[in-house]
Amino acid sequence: MAIEIKAPTFPESVADGTVATWHKQPGDAVKRDELIVDIETDKVVMEVLAEADGVLGDIVKGEGETVLSGELLGSLEKGGSAAPKETAKDEPQAASKPAEEAKPAAEEAKSNSGEEPMLSPAARKIAEENGLAPADIEGTGKGGRVTKEDAMNAVEAKKNAPAKAPAEAAKPAAKAGAVDNSALAEGDRVEKRVPMTRLRARIAERLVDAQSSMAMLTTFNEVNMKPIMDLRSKYKELFEKKHNGVRLGFMSFFVKAATEALKRYPAVNASIDGGDVVYHGYQDIGVAVSSDRGLVVPILRNTEYMSLATIEGTIADFGRKAKDGKLSMEDMTGGTFTISNGGVFGSLLSSPIVNPPQAAILGMHKIQERPMAEKGQVVILPMMYLALSYDHRLIDGKEAVSFLVAIKELLEDPARLLLDI
């Protein structure tokens, strides 16, 4: 019995998607809940899983084609078996083939039998870019799943492996469009043109729109991180033990400080909707996370009710989901304020771009030890620059500066967060 493979139901904010990758080909054996195809939308990659054991039938929508919500992608023959291997009468011909062709045939048979390990989207992308076969990567994830780290380790091992013989190096690349660097002469200049992903294109569009549609301005301040660092150093082991392995980081302090500041200055937590200003009576803070596919902003909802441990645990979960391409549309929908931490990449100072329809975004940066004057003495302190970009149509300079100063005061004296002062 044939089962229709359909695109997922897209949210109202997503009009269509693009078929990113077919992980199975017609005739391949498929197991229940096995990943068949990835659908890329403007915000997330949505995975389509097999509804039952069987064999993949015809593919209706190929890679790169646009699909609508619930549109037919292909079919699955329930309970079928993979295409049979070549019969014994074909063996003499197979034996006469060169040894080089025997290995790809064996690998293809292994793939058709369903033994190929499952790769996360990020791991598959790394494997394809570096010409690695999935079977050559040892998976350490749950159920033998190949993670991004597994793929990166395999790439590193490949780079450190001894150079192949000239005959091996002369073989054509396994993947279409792959560049064989061994065949390039010194000084050759190579260019590779690839289509922009939907997520990257959408990010670019929103960034340009944000800068052209609002009166964006950035104000700066700096915060002494020593009180937070001392507090974290004193309690991090006890905190981790108490909260089942959740580690105490800096982001939870910034989220709580921003939450308190948003309560004091509601205009920073508001948004413009046409000719109206919408004031939100809750704090949903987006935390910018870098992934292989681009910048994504999952949302911490109702942060006014979240503890430091809950914030840290949720952010860690978002990071794992982003790495594996598992963030859902619900994870990234909404938000009244955003925090971006360029400091993890070494950024000392930047002007973050507001994420519409929000009115402001806080930029964290690298912690840098600098000489500072304190009570008439020059001391070396771990300092961080803070940047607040805001929509000047809604937020006055006084409110923006006061908001940033409130965050600075709460971070430099964490007891204020507990005492609500």
> pLDDT > 90: what percent of the chain?
33
Distances (CA, A) of 213 to 201, 310, 355, 361: 18, 35, 12, 16
Q: Which residue has the higher pLDDT, 184 or 157?
A: 157
Contact 410, 373 (CB under 8 A): no
Task: Report the run of H or E that residue 17 belongs to, with start and end.
Answer: strand 16-22
| Rounded Cα–Cα distance for residues 27 and 83 (Å) | 6
What is the number of helices (H) and of strands (E) in the chain?
11, 19
Q: Is the pLDDT of residue 330 over 60?
A: yes
Backbone angles phi, psi at 405, to 5 degrees: -65, -35
| Rounded Cα–Cα distance for residues 354 and 387 (Å) | 11
- Each residue of 395-407: pLDDT tens digit? 999 999 999 999 9
User: What does DSSP say about strands 294-296 and 289-291: parallel, antiparallel, or unpaired?
Assistant: antiparallel
Q: Is the pLDDT of residue 415 over 80?
A: yes
Distances (CA, A) of 352 to 186, 210, 339, 367, 401: 41, 11, 9, 17, 16
Backbone angles phi, psi at 378, to 5 degrees: -90, 120
- Each residue of 211-255: pLDDT tens digit? 888 899 999 999 999 999 999 999 989 999 999 888 898 999 999
Residues with a catalytic annotation lie at: 392, 396
| Rounded Cα–Cα distance for residues 187 and 190 (Å) | 10
- Each residue of 258-284: pLDDT tens digit? 999 999 999 999 999 888 999 999 999
Domain 1-83 has CATH 2.40.50.100: yes
Q: State the CB neighbour count (10 A cutoff) for residue 267.
A: 18
Hey, what CATH topology would domain 216-419 get? Answer: Chloramphenicol Acetyltransferase (3.30.559)
Listed by start position, the domains of the chain span: 1-83, 216-419
- Each residue of 113-167: pLDDT tens digit? 445 667 776 777 777 778 788 777 887 776 677 777 787 788 878 777 654 444 4
Paired tokens of 262? 């948003």
pLDDT at residue number 253: 94
Helical packing angle, 148-160 and 121-129, nearest 10°: 20
| Rounded Cα–Cα distance for residues 50 and 46 (Å) | 13
State the residue for tokens 């068949």.
Answer: 36
| Rounded Cα–Cα distance for residues 267 and 421 (Å) | 20
Q: Where are the beta strands (DSSP E) in 28-95?
A: 29-30, 35-40, 45-49, 54-59, 66-68, 72-78
SS (H, E, C) 142-202: HHHCECHHHHHHHHHHHHHCCCCCHHHHCCCCCCCCCCCHHHCCCCCCCCCCCCCCHHHHH
pLDDT at residue number 173: 42
pLDDT at residue number 379: 94
Mean pLDDT for the chain overall: 80
pLDDT at residue number 94: 45
Q: Is the pLDDT of residue 87 over 50?
A: no
Q: Is the pLDDT of residue 43 over 70?
A: no
Whether the link from the prior residue into 356 is cis, omega within 30° of 0, is no
> pLDDT > 70: what percent of the chain?
82
